[in-house]
Amino acid sequence: MPKILVIRFSSIGDIVLTTPVFRLIKKQVEQAELHFVTKLRFKAVTSENPYIDKFHYLDEDWEGLIDALKKENYDVVIDLHNNFRSNKIRRALKARSSVIDKLTVPKFFLTKLGLNFMPNRHITQRCIDAAKILGVQDDGHGLDYYISKSDEVSFQDIPTSHHAGYIGIVIGANHRTKKLPVHQLKKLCAYIQHPIILLGGPGEATEGDEIAATDQAKIYNAAGKFSLNECADLIKKAKLIVSHDTGMQYIACAYQRPVIAVWGSTSPKLQVEPYYGTDARYQGKYESFLKNLHCQPCNKYGAASCPREHFNCMEKLSMQDLAHAVHRRLGRAVS
């Protein structure tokens, strides 16, 4: 029975993008015992994943975590984070290991010099590549996301006006340059002719209230009102998700919901676009909405402010065109 450790510390989206690795290992490696180590604050992302046998969490006791992992006597370590801390774990465990290719050099050329040497290899496919040390093969089925029954949101917890269906708009992101400004989101919501639920964490609650105040009958602000996994259930029940480059768009992919991905300082060129797997049955479920500026992408993660001080990647996006894309996906004609 091989004992296997997978490492991915953060973030929500990156962890969701690794989930095919868990499934492939448990289904294709005979009698595998699979452990996963991540940061404690991301516990909810995988806590219900049935393919993971044991969890280890990185909190403040770094040395204690390493000592605990040493006692497990792993046969194989799959490092899907590939940074100083994950490298330290691999060296300490002295097991056979494999590491994801982070494409650091091509990303530097792309974001700093505008030269695209990126291979045609999505980050999820590169995660699977790292697991091929175990002999696994991609099943083409895309991402997974699991929640408990207690995380399911009752219709009683959302307005009656939204019970017949709604569009989810993810208003948050880790970095400002990945987010539409509030005035743009207000325009978008005004143009959309359908009930809307705004999705985000506590940090987006105030912005969500400001947006929802423009039309409280049509727009419900769920940001800060629900846990991550409750938001995941709202995503699962949505007709369509409009999202910045952030973790919730990948949760939507895991639930096979159609996605319109809005790009600012990052772009699909970084090969982190919404992912539904390679199976032909799952294709065509998303589209990207971006300006395709020569300065885009300017950062592989996002930043606090636009390095060129104009923020045209988000400010120049037409919210009317984005609303047209939403209605087109819903099959509705818009004048």
Domain extents for the chain? 3-134, 149-330
Q: Which pLDDT band, with edges at 50, 70 and 90, does 60 fall under?
A: confident
Q: Which pLDDT band, with edges at 50, 70 and 90, does 274 fall under?
A: very high
Domains 3-134 and 149-330 belong to one CATH topology: yes
pTM above threshold 0.85:
yes
Sequence-distant (6+) residues with CB within 8 A of 334 are: 193, 323, 324, 327, 328
Per-residue pLDDT, averaged over 54-69, amounts to 94
- What is the CB neighbour count within 10 angstroms for residue 32? 19
- Please give the share of the chain, as a percent, with pLDDT higher than 70: 98
SS3 191: helix
**Which pLDDT score, from 0 to 100, does residue 192 have?**
97
**Which pLDDT score, from 0 to 100, does residue 284 have?**
76
81 closest CA partner among 65, 100, 55, 59: 100
Query: Per the structure block, which two tokens stand in for 181?
Result: 């400004």
CATH class, range 149-330: alpha beta
Per-residue pLDDT, averaged over 314-326, amounts to 97
- Give the sign of the dihedral formed by CA 319, CA 323, CA 328, CA 330: positive
Q: Which range has the worst mean pLDDT, 122-136, 171-185, 269-283?
A: 269-283
Q: What are the pLDDT digits (tens) for 211-257?
A: 999 999 999 999 999 999 999 999 999 999 999 999 999 999 999 99
Q: List, in sequence order, every residue forming a beta bridge with 37; answer none if it has no partner.
A: 7, 56
Sequence-distant (6+) residues with CB within 8 A of 148 are: 48, 229
Q: Which pLDDT band, with edges at 50, 70 and 90, does 283 fall under?
A: confident
**Which pLDDT score, from 0 to 100, does residue 289 have?**
96
Residue 333 has pLDDT above 60, yes or no: no
Tell me the C-alpha distance between 10 and 46, whole Å. Answer: 11
**Which pLDDT score, from 0 to 100, does residue 285 have?**
87
Helical ranges in the chain per DSSP H:
12-17, 19-28, 43-46, 62-70, 84-93, 104-108, 123-131, 182-191, 205-212, 228-237, 247-254, 312-315, 319-330
Q: What are the pLDDT digits (tens) for 157-193?
A: 999 999 999 999 999 998 999 999 999 999 999 999 9
Q: What architecture is the 3-134 domain classified under in CATH?
A: 3-Layer(aba) Sandwich (3.40)
The highest-confidence range among 195-209, 268-282, 295-309, by mean pLDDT, is 195-209
**Which pLDDT score, from 0 to 100, does residue 335 have?**
43
Residue 332 has pLDDT above 80, yes or no: no
**Which pLDDT score, from 0 to 100, does residue 279 have?**
82
**Which pLDDT score, from 0 to 100, does residue 16 have?**
98
SS3 72: coil
* 31 exposure class (CB count in 10 Å sphere: 0-12, 13-18, 19+): exposed
